[in-house]
A and B are shown apart, each in its own frame.
Chain A
């Protein structure tokens, strides 16, 4: 019996190691590349022999990368704040209020969640050129905000359904208007859900590549994913492998931090809509 239990445990151990390696190895590999100096870049070692920060120093020396990093952070943060604010309002209404047109709203957000972004690239490119927001922060914030709204509405309305709404009723009995009940009683309870949604939306905006390369043309608004696709080596005979690897690590760090800190919540946020749907 004990032996059987041991082989059972061993089998799970092996499976778990396989899963963790599968998930993390490609990430480790590009991180290892970023710490290699150009001389040992092609040695095929999984652990750099001579650790160097040369690649990192290189990318932070150029405005190309630092500017892109500032763009990425600013654009993703602003889009997240607006999307979560609008999404919270709509999700509260969806989860709590009865009003005609609710089904249309749900259907519309579902449609947008499935929308192929490439279908919007040519019209948005022209519209933004005409009204003069092409290659600006606002030109990226608007599509990011729109495409993350359905995600925000879904995850938030799932969170909202789990809030004990009797508290709101009690507040209303005590004379609060629906708006006051929302602001004073429900909003604080909803804060963890709102925060989780904000992380999901931020990851979504941080990841985007198609809009970032289509709706920008200079360093003015180009985000990191787009910028590293256009990296060039310090001379035309040199591949920018080290710089790309270093830049890749820098933009992966925030995601890893979020995942490590809020793993449970992120899983809850991603799956709540799916189970109930």
Chain B
């Protein structure tokens, strides 16, 4: 308080006129105070809700993860330190789910990037039917994931599906690990490529037409124009799209739940967490898994921001 009572101690900004600094500053700070109060008032409800529903529960999850807390034996609840983490990390179930999740994430995001870029270019360049194409592409994004997953499940169900009909009879791809994993990826890619494509389309709009024409005049081939001109200019949009899709793919749940329910070694980390909670009703272990998944996502986000310098979407960019 005492330091704030002596505004004279802080040197006035060089451009300010010395004589008018006093009253001007007072008027400004009154306005600024009002602005500040309004800012806090307007943000307060959103902040309170976000903290109450995410920060508090994740703290509670950390607390639960340090307890033996099995809903079938509530009387045995007690503090067990890190032993739940030990059980999870030494269990093959965790590591199987971890590698499955990583595999699905890496493969589907890679395919989505390539396919999404293709889709974005078609949407960007096509002359006729542009509206129809863009509207169609939005539909997989908007459709309920569970519905999409059922469509793919039925497509591969022997006797029922058009895709299963292409296979030799007796084949049921969803009952074997590797075919099932690829079908999960297919369903994921179909559902979320449009999202990737739309973000990339926004990035394409950042590439000035004149720059491309200039490159063309200089004799750059189409491929050179794409890799040397378009990709570098689109880098921010590509990184944001990759970050969002990677984190989203990492928490894959709906598709797997419908297609295989995690059978035949196709369960992701989210499926593992769900099963521990609702099949074995073990809140301690389930919470330890929750916290570990949270940490994984944190590491991915941190790596993206640090390694690639992804700017926070919506944040003001430092230029």
Contacts and interface: CB of A to CB of B under 8 A. Distances in A.
B270 A26 contact: no
* Interface residue SS majority, chain B: helix
Interface in B277-315: 277-278, 283, 286-287, 289-291, 293-294, 296-297, 301, 311-315
B311 A118 contact: no
Given A119-B291, A123-B64, A153-B46, A255 B143 contact: yes
Contacts of B194: 23
Interface string A259-270: 110010011001
Contact of A15 (B46, B126, B253, B297): B126
A274 B34 contact: no
B35 A44 contact: no
Contacts of A13: 128-129
Q: A interface, by DSSP: helix, strand, loop or mixed?
A: helix
A20 B132 contact: yes
B253 A210 contact: yes
Nearest to B62: A123
B126 A124 contact: no
Contact of A108 (B47, B128, B142, B237): B47
Given A98-B35, A105-B43, A274 B202 contact: yes
A112 to B, nearest CB: 5
Contact of A122 (B61, B127, B236, B317): B61
Given A116-B250, A241-B154, A259-B139, A99 B39 contact: yes
A233 interface: no
B54 interface: yes
A145 interface: yes
Given A12-B126, A121-B274, A125-B277, A229 B61 contact: no
B279 to A, nearest CB: 12
Contacts of B58: 119-120, 123
A142 B48 CA distance: 12
A225 interface: yes
A274 B237 contact: yes
Contacts of B146: 209, 225, 228-229, 248
A158 B60 contact: no
Contact of B150 (A46, A90, A143, A248): A248
18 contacts: A20-B129, A20-B132, A97-B42, A100-B36, A102-B39, A105-B43, A112-B50, A118-B293, A119-B290, A120-B58, A123-B64, A126-B60, A178-B35, A258-B142, A260-B135, A266-B138, A274-B237, A277-B311
Interface of A: 9, 12-13, 15-16, 19-20, 22-24, 26-27, 29-30, 33, 41-42, 44, 46, 86-87, 89-90, 92-94, 97-103, 105-110, 112-127, 142-143, 145-146, 149-150, 153-154, 157-158, 178-179, 203, 206-207, 209-210, 213-214, 224-225, 228-229, 241, 244-245, 248, 251-252, 255-256, 258-260, 263, 266-267, 270-277
> Which 4 interchain pairs have the tightest Cβ spacing?
A99-B39, A277-B313, A271-B202, A123-B57
